[in-house]
Amino acid sequence: MSADINKLEQIASQVRRDIVRMVHACQSGHPGGSLGCTDYFVALYFHAMKHDPSFNMDGIGEDLFFLSNGHISPVFYSTLARAGYFPVSELSTFRKINSRLQGHPTTHEHLPGIRVASGSLGQGLSVALGAAQAKKLNKDNSLVYVLMGDGELQEGQVWEAAMYAPHNKMDNIIAAVDYNRAQIDGSTDEVLNLGNLRAKWEAFGWDVLEVDNGNDMTAVIAGLDEAKSRTGKGKPVIILLHTEMGSGVDFMMGSHKWHGVAPNDEQLETALNQIPRTIGDY
């Protein structure tokens, strides 16, 4: 399946506008990681995954996605809305009272596209492996995707799941790590150094590939296509996705300080001037 890179980049630009507007409107949320992961989400939902916006919780016969680092919900919600899961206009309710778009994704809100409540870090890989194992038991050849933050890899449960997957030959899962080297309190090197992540995952028995520029749509598409080609060969697959926190907004880029801070009015205007409006604001 060939990708229309220009079209995907236009969608990504609009998603970035959605993110900064959503977080600004409620003066709450996590713009940094959301902006950094935008290209991955757009590539996933508009190119790589086989999915149905009419949304069935069982997900039989379609690829599934689980967001482990649930605090980057703005990019998840925007992508789902732009992919047709719910009205784009609903993005204006983000983090408002009685909104289905809570700060962290929740299932009790019955928002189409959300398969698990997430944001308690370290749990997403375990959930995704459960879904992947169920697909194997059901003879369903679809794939399961999961995204984790790099700071999240400081959680022990991740490594329990990392052991479980190769032992059970879970070769229908494609995990990804948002490898921006930043977390809420500083750089991952300063808070708790992750060491050689590639060597760690390989030692645990995973097939590891790296995308050196996770904010370049062509590179992300190539990485996802390569990851898909490696499934079904007896090993789980993981992508180390090198991204930049705040990508697309110059004053947010490269700083952990924008992990969970909303822009003020002036900063919003500056950000929107840097991100082209392509398919229309909500």
Is 167 buried (19+), middle (13-18) or exposed (0-12) by CB count in 10 A? Answer: exposed
Instruction: Grade residue 112 by pLDDT with cuts at 50, 70 and 90.
Output: very high
pLDDT in tens, 198-255: 999 999 999 999 999 999 999 999 999 999 999 999 999 999 999 999 999 999 998 8
> Which region among 3-7, 165-169, 202-206, 234-238 has the lowest average model confidence (pLDDT)?
3-7
User: What's the pLDDT band for 1 if we cut at 50, 70, 90?
Assistant: low
Instruction: Note the pLDDT tens digit of each residue in 63-96.
Output: 999 999 999 999 999 999 999 999 999 999 999 9
Residue 124 structure tokens: 């997403």
Bridge partners of 182?
187
- Interatomic CA distance for residues 250 and 58, integer angstroms: 41
Residue type, 209: L
Three-class HEC string of the chain: CCCCHHHHHHHHHHHHHHHHHHHHHHCCCCHHHHHHCHHHHHHHHHHHCCCCCCCCCCCCCCCEEEECCHHHHHHHHHHHHHCCCCCHHHHHHCCCCCCCCCCCCCCCCCCCCCCCCCCCCCCHHHHHHHHHHHHHHCCCCCCEEEEEECHHHHCHHHHHHHHHHHHCCCCCEEEEEEECCEECCEEHHHHHCCCCHHHHHHHCCCEEEEECCCCCHHHHHHHHHHHHHCCCCCCCEEEEEECCCCCCCCCCCCCHHHCCCCCCHHHHHHHHHHCCCCCCCC
Domains, in order of start, for the chain: 5-274 (3.40.50.970)
CA distance linking residue 268 with residue 26, whole number of Å: 12
**With 0-12 CB in 10 A as exposed, 13-18 as middle and 19+ as buried, what is 166?**
middle
Q: CA torsion sign, 109 to 113 to 117 to 118?
A: negative
User: Which residues does 4 contact at the CB level (< 8 Å), separation at least 6?
Assistant: none
**Strand partners for 81:** none
Cα R_g (the chain), whole angstroms: 17
pLDDT of residue 186: 85
Query: Which residues face 240 on adjacent strands?
Result: 177, 210
Return the pLDDT at 184. 86
- Is pLDDT of 2 > 80? no
Percent of the chain past pLDDT 70, that is, above it, reads 100
pLDDT of residue 60 exceeding 60: yes
Q: What is the mean pLDDT of the chain?
A: 96
